[in-house]
Amino acid sequence: MALREIVTVPNDVLRRKARKITEFDKELQKTIDDMVETMREAPGVGLAAPQVGLLDRLVVVEYEEDDEKEDSPKKLYVVVNPEIISASEETEMGIEGCLSVPGLVGEVERSLEVVVRGQNRRGQPVKIKADGWLARIFQHEIDHLDGILYTDRATKVWKPTPEEENIAAD
């Protein structure tokens, strides 16, 4: 495994649409492992392939299963070719940050619940029902695959206070 460089704005790879993955080979497995290591080192809760300069439809997400409990175990999600197949009409405003947009946070409205369909690292179909913060993370990461940054959706963007810098986002 190796750390990958995280691409930041204004790099144009962040504005391009990623392509579908069709080969589940050793190269993909290495990319996944590198992305997980890079996300953890950053540290972040999610990372999309364009953020490491790859125009592939791939996201990794790691988040506490029970964010109400301290030291709750984290669950790792690797989703190839993810797509949101349903999203709740109920939305919520929340503060997001991004490893590719350093030094800023923004207020973004997102669906409270989503269902994500895709494939696991071996190509098998997966379906994830996510709510709350996990749903927000998936929406944020999947946006990256379509060249959309949270700043495009934010109602306002600002330089965070020290307390806001601890906000979990990618």
Catalytic residues: 141
138 vs 21: CA distance, rounded Å:
18
Q: What are phi and psi of 27, to 5 degrees?
A: -65, -40
Q: Which of 58, 67, 66, 63 is nearest to 145 (CA)?
A: 58
- Residue at 62: amino acid letter: E
Q: Which of 34, 45, 52 is nearest to 75 (CA)?
A: 45
Give the start-end residues of each E strand in 31-164: 46-48, 58-64, 74-87, 91-97, 105-111, 113-119, 125-131, 156-158
20 vs 32: CA distance, rounded Å:
15
Q: Which of 139, 131, 22, 138 is nearest to 77 (CA)?
A: 138
